[in-house]
Amino acid sequence: MDDSRLTPRKMQILKAIVDAHITNGEPVGSKFLSQDVRFSCSPATIRNEMAELEEMGYLVQPYTSAGRVPSERGYRYYVDALVRQYSETRSEIDEINQMLKFKLTEMDELLSEFSRFAASFTDYTGIAFKSGLGKVKIQSFKSVLLSSHDFLLVMTFENDIVKTKTIHLSFTIGEDILRRFTEALNMYLVNLPSDSISMPIIVRIEALMGTASAMVHPTVKVIYETMSELDTADLKLDGITKLLQYPEYSDVSDFRNLLGVLEQKDKLVDVLSSHSASEDGIQVYIGDENAAEGMKNTTLIFKNISVGGGQLAVGVIGPKRMNYHKVIEMLNGLATGIDRLFGEDSLLPNGNSKGD
């Protein structure tokens, strides 16, 4: 895309039109812009500049005698080159910090919270995605006796991923039993994918534990669930009905098509999965840049965050005339908070392993 013909004045006019259209949803005319104190030129000059921007493909005129609205190319340039820092209010920053200050133990819960927050903060549909690592294997087990009925199981996976789970038993155990149990787990379950944890293996561990065999089943259940959580991708959506307030989705058939994309999730998962966790910048798909036909009037915007060797993505889905300032700064602020959340050391004996 050749943007070399965009003079500073054209950039300023394009930005003003996108800002105005995002705010009121109506075509923007030269008369409206000429009342803006930022423009010292005449309405005729503004009209000429708008006509050239239309000729260059940045603006479109929806009908004769109307003002202009941004084209997809106009939105794309706005996102890539014109967006400036959105100054968050103190209360909005506090809301982000308040939501992240509690360390939830289940990734499913976290994804639901992230998508809910993105939806409520922006008034668009919030999305949160976790990639699957696929066939993860545990490299070692450690355990810490917490009480006569509880112990902490520490699972170290490949890529230095560490998960900790507290397991409660209905009977009492001591240090010796827990030590023997941990040795059995390291003997039989290390370097096995979840689908290889078979009943014969469980029976052999139970035989080793003798009178304490009842601790095997609840522990293996937790191990299997933790491995499955890491293995599989997951996508959460929140606030789909928020889109109904925007005129872009007033056509029932168009909204039904978009709803079909969101309910099936496959195309969204494909897009989110196609970006590795190392691509941690803001990713934006505007209108036809989305592969799904049902998203032609829609923008998908998300940010990748690398978490424990895997990928987490948080974003929103909304109309093309989205408030890009606010969304981008929200995603950057949320990503910083998530990095902080997963960067905190858990209270493990060695003091430097990260739990979930």
Amino acid found at 44: A
For domain 138-231, the CATH class is alpha beta
Give the pLDDT band (50/70/90) at residue 98: low
What tens digit of pLDDT does each residue of 113-139 get?
889 989 988 999 999 988 776 678 899
Q: Assess contact for 261 and 240: CB atoms under 8 A.
A: no
DSSP 113-169: HHHHHHHHHHSSEEEEEE----S--EEEEEEEE-SSSEEEEEEEEGGG-EEEEEEE-
More confident residue, 272 or 213: 213
More confident residue, 209 or 112: 209
User: What pLDDT is stored for residue 7 in this prediction?
Assistant: 86
pLDDT-above-70 percentage for the chain: 82
pLDDT-above-90 percentage for the chain: 40
Give the residue extent of every domain in the chain. Answer: 8-82, 90-131+233-343, 138-231
In the predicted structure, residue 86 carries a pLDDT above the cut 60? no
**Ramachandran region, residue 57 (left: φ > 0; alpha: ψ -120 to 50; beta: rest):** left
In the predicted structure, residue 92 carries a pLDDT above the cut 80? no
Amino acid found at 157: F
CATH 1.10.10.10 for domain 8-82, yes or no, is: yes
In the predicted structure, residue 315 carries a pLDDT above the cut 90? yes
In the predicted structure, residue 240 carries a pLDDT above the cut 90? yes
Note the pTM of the prediction, 2 decimals.
0.65
In the predicted structure, residue 328 carries a pLDDT above the cut 50? yes
Identify the CATH homologous superfamily for domain 90-131+233-343. GAF domain (3.30.450.40)
Q: Any idea which of 25-29, 35-39, 239-243 has the lowest mean pLDDT?
A: 35-39
Give the pLDDT band (50/70/90) at residue 36: confident
In the predicted structure, residue 352 carries a pLDDT above the cut 50? no
CA 259 to chain centre: 19
User: What pLDDT is stored for residue 3 in this prediction?
Assistant: 66
What tens digit of pLDDT does each residue of 164-178 get?
899 999 999 999 999
Give the mean pLDDT of the chain.
82
In the predicted structure, residue 90 carries a pLDDT above the cut 70? no
User: What pLDDT is stored for residue 67 in this prediction?
Assistant: 86
Burial of 7 (C-beta count, 10 Å sphere; 0-12/13-18/19+): exposed
State whether residue 164 is helix, strand or coil: strand
90-131+233-343 and 138-231 in the same fold? no
CA angle centred on 171, ends 168 and 173, rounded to 5°: 85
In the predicted structure, residue 105 carries a pLDDT above the cut 50? no
